Structure 1
Amino acid sequence: MRKYEVIAEALKQWIQEQMQQQDRRQWADKGIRLPAVRVVADQYQCSVSTAIRAYEWLEQRHLVYAIPQSGYYAVQNGTGAQDMDWQGALDFASAAPDPRVFPYADFRHCVDQAMEKKQAELFMYGTDQGLPSLIILLQKQFADYQVFARTEQFFITSGVQQALAVLALMPFPNGKRKVLLELPTYHNMPSLLSGLNVPIAGVRRALSGLDWESLERQFAEGDIKFFYVMPRFHNPIGTSLTVAEKKRLIRLAQRYDVYLVEDDYLADLEDNTKQDPLWSYDTEGRVIYLKSYSKILFPGLRIGVAVLPSPLIQSFGAYKKMLDIDTSVLSQAALEIYVHSGMFAHHRKVIRNRYAARMHTVHEQLDAYPDFAPFMDAPRTGGEHTVLPLAGDMPLRVLLSRLQKRGVIVDTTERYYPEGTYQVHQDQMLRLNISNVPKQRIEEGMQKIREEILKLQISQR
């Protein structure tokens, strides 16, 4: 065993002993702090670089995380479940975050700290925008996403769903009424708008991109209040708009007095530093930026963030106040501690790396069969999902039933269209999400999918 591995194993044992000895209520905000690198180097009579390598070994195994200019801290949930430990059905349908990677103990500690340190805020009404200290923290965090805004432009909402409801209900300066949706789109959006009696229009978004001719026509003639769009890792098809397409979209919005509601729900999974949000290209205040923490943490947190152009702030605040007095202050306070401690940055890195490895395995399978049309035509996406385009005569219900019998659960894109419009578009696709499928079993699942599609193709000849 190499020197750094010996040191890493010793530190691992030390962490376990500390966790057994200490009462969680006595932990510091950031958890158990490990000895400084130079202290480890002196203790084990090695170079500083060897000590750093030992910490890197622990970090790669999700046992510690680093906080710049502070040091290394223990990840309180231990090693977490590894992909190879994961048995049972292969669920390519679930879009929920990976529960086996979530640091429950860490976040529970943050909730405890929030109860202790934010007592005054917990017994107050009137934080209409959200917890001021969290907004200041998020303003800095959002700069990493290339979203630069003043604190008064931020609103903490009860999930992005509430932000969408507020935007659908409130009047906009353009005086228009309709909401334009991509087809397909986020599956809850059509029902939300219908329930609020907001008129809906649609524009096709295929694997090749938006139908720009239809989009411009509707912007010009369609009484469009705002266009709800997912530029990054579109749900359900997984593709992203190019820089040129983002700039084109903003030019059209400015020309025809239309607002753009940008749902950047998977911003934390982006590993391409050149992929910036629509917001970063907007110079005229046309983009409303939405970010969720459901995908990177857990849906039950119910924290969303809306960043608004200045003319919309007052109206948004008034309509949000009608829907609730405050977004959960406890959730906000726990998130603040989680972000401030550096735990969020570590968790985001773990999730992004794990999902990226799974998507890489998906791409390997897609590339392994260049003569198989559904694999050949599938987009090579990032994030957490992609789609397999299928022939229009493929019996989807039969395919899903056969796959389920073989222990593979998949989804179609049907529920991502407004009711009654799916058959019009005839975009038959399987949506494959990797957030709840272990890397070591992706090949197994995709092989079964390929085999069942081939069987149905042969039976139809």
Structure 2
Amino acid sequence: MKKLYETIIQDIERDIREKNIKPGKKLPSVRELCERYKCSKSTVVKAFEVLKSNHIIYSVPQSGYYIVEGINSYDEVSSSIINFSTGNPTVNNLPTPDLKHCLDRAVDIHKDAPLGNSLMGINSLRELIPSYLTNFQVFTSIDNVFINLGIQQALSVLTQMPFPNGKKTILVEEPTYRFFIGFLEFSKVNVIGIERDEKGIDLNRLEDIFKNNDIKFFYTVPRNHNPLGTSYDKTQKKAIARLASKYDVYIVEDDYFGDLDVQVSEDPIYSFGDHYHHIYLKSFSKIIPWIRIGISVIPTHLLNLFREHVGYSYYYSYFSPSLVSQATLEIYIRSKILNKHVNIIKKHHLSRIETLREGFEEFKKYGIKCIGGRSGFYSYIELPDRVNEKIIVEGLKKKGVLVSGGRQYFLSDETYKKGIRLSIARTDEEEIKKGLEIILNDIKNYM
């Protein structure tokens, strides 16, 4: 049941969104709100303190509370919005004193370090990575490890550099990571797709593509897929690794959610591969939202080529994260705080997944297909052909529920499977229940 101070917060945010209260204007006094809601002074003050901590209002001594200037858009006042649209988690459930500790230690340890940044990352962090990666059945050496800003930076370098197989075309799953699709379109490289659904991919179709097309590398998210929220089984992973070796195709594996995988028995494709045709990418953005940092594991025979193109990228972009970010991650790993954070996130995440799966049962009663919801942040609700995705997305937004339209995760209209993507990265159990109910009602009403 919603507490009264939460109702006050929600009403004030609604008034701001609907512009009943203008930025810079004074809010009703504590006494006025006490009378309106028939509550104590402490209840109103608590509501104001929450709004202050969210930078929505500020107080002026001896005067009252005012709306922060510039708070006038729908998304800026968001505590009452159910946000299924982003995969970037908040830090609400993570202990911020740990961050401060790691930052302080990082500054103390590296205060005399030169400002220049190694293209491969700082050695003290890189030395920790091989041992850390063994937890995911990824075995490598420091020489093969690059520290980068994130997976997108590594993908941009890999897309532009030539590969020893001399091939030109990139194969992606459909659907797949929308920012990589955008980069491929911008770069005007040859790209084709292979259909992926809740069961995975057709391995016979994959072999046919590898055999008869000019495939440079296959970009895949084997577990906790974005946007489907599914994972390949062991048979599929072994087959993909075998076919890559047989047809001289490289696998670029995006394991962005490996730390938080609740299916502990799942191993990456890398663990089944020949370590010649395999590039492993990992991100920490889901477990340490304060910093953007990732890892690339590059096979030995590609090291010089990859290092050369990372060097080129230095002149028009950044590849390595800041020294502070790298040093902070180093302390997180060295002090075991990273393990602590992972366990905290997993605990909350398992409960949210269960709530999501229970909610999807209602969708099935109406013949609406829901994919995923077993691991990771993402899931995908397929829509009937007669349903207009854009109308659904905009209608939900007006009701305070944000979702992502599915078209952006596909290469073309011809291959698009109509639907919406959900992410539970920024939701709790109650929001998931309420949001799914609103989504289901909107789809039913449209149908």
TM-score range, shorter chain: 0.7 to 0.9
Aligned residues of 2:407 and 2:416 also touching (Cα < 8 A): no
Q: 1:222-371 counterparts in 2 under 5 A?
A: 222-298=213-289, 301-324=291-314, 326-368=320-362, 370-371=364-365
Distance 1:436 1:454 in 2: 25
Aligned residues of 2:410 and 2:416 also touching (Cα < 8 A): no
Q: Give the CA RMSD over aligned residues.
A: 1.9
Aligned residues of 1:122 and 1:329 also touching (Cα < 8 A): no
Give the structure 1 partner of residue 106 of structure 2: 114
Shift of 1:131: 1.2
* Alignment TM-score, normalising by the size of structure 2: 0.78
Shift of 1:426: 3.9
Give the structure 1 partner of residue 36 of structure 2: none
Q: Relative to structure 1, is the Cα distance of residues 353 and 332 closer, same or farther in structure 2, using a 3 angstrom cutoff?
A: same
Aligned residues of 1:389 and 1:427 also touching (Cα < 8 A): yes
The secondary structure found in structure 2 opposite 1:261 is strand
Unaligned runs of 5+ in 2: 1-77
Shift of 1:307: 0.6
Question: Which of the numbers 412, 432, 446 marks the counterpart of 1:442?
Answer: 432
Q: 1:337-416 counterparts in 2 under 5 A?
A: 337-368=331-362, 370-374=364-368, 377-416=370-409
Distance 2:330 2:184 in 1: 31
Q: Greater CA deviation, 195-204 or 151-160? A: 195-204
What are the Cα deviations for residues 343-398 of structure 1, in whole angstroms up to 9, with x where unaligned?
A: 111111111221121011011122356422225x4334211111111111112222
Distance 1:129 1:258 in 2: 25
Aligned residues of 1:410 and 1:432 also touching (Cα < 8 A): yes
Aligned residues of 1:270 and 1:382 also touching (Cα < 8 A): yes
Distance 2:224 2:150 in 1: 19
The residue identity in structure 2 corresponding to 1:416 is Y
Shift of 1:135: 1.2
Distance 1:369 1:189 in 2: 30
Give the structure 2 partner of residue 50 of structure 1: none
The secondary structure found in structure 1 opposite 2:376 is coil
Q: Relative to structure 1, is the Cα distance of residues 320 and 103 closer, same or farther in structure 2, using a 3 angstrom cutoff?
A: farther
Give the structure 2 partner of residue 66 of structure 1: none
Q: Relative to structure 1, is the Cα distance of residues 225 and 188 closer, same or farther in structure 2, using a 3 angstrom cutoff?
A: same
Unaligned runs of 5+ in 1: 1-85
Shift of 1:253: 0.7
Q: 1:136-175 counterparts in 2 under 5 A?
A: 136-175=127-166
Shift of 1:254: 1.0
The residue identity in structure 2 corresponding to 1:425 is T
The residue identity in structure 1 corresponding to 2:382 is P
Distance 1:189 1:102 in 2: 29
The secondary structure found in structure 1 opposite 2:381 is strand
Shift of 1:441: 2.4
Percentage of pairs with the same residue: 33
Give the structure 1 partner of residue 446 of structure 2: 456
* Alignment TM-score, normalising by the size of structure 1: 0.76
Aligned residues of 1:232 and 1:241 also touching (Cα < 8 A): yes
The residue identity in structure 2 corresponding to 1:269 is L
Aligned residues of 2:356 and 2:432 also touching (Cα < 8 A): yes
The secondary structure found in structure 2 opposite 1:206 is coil
What are the Cα deviations for residues 245-291 of structure 1, in whole angstroms up to 9, with x where unaligned?
A: 00111111111100000000111111222100011111352211000
Give the structure 1 partner of residue 182 of structure 2: 191
The residue identity in structure 1 corresponding to 2:300 is S
Distance 1:186 1:380 in 2: 17
Distance 1:445 1:414 in 2: 21
How many positions carry a matched residue from both structures?
Answer: 366
Aligned residues of 2:146 and 2:295 also touching (Cα < 8 A): yes
Distance 1:143 1:426 in 2: 37
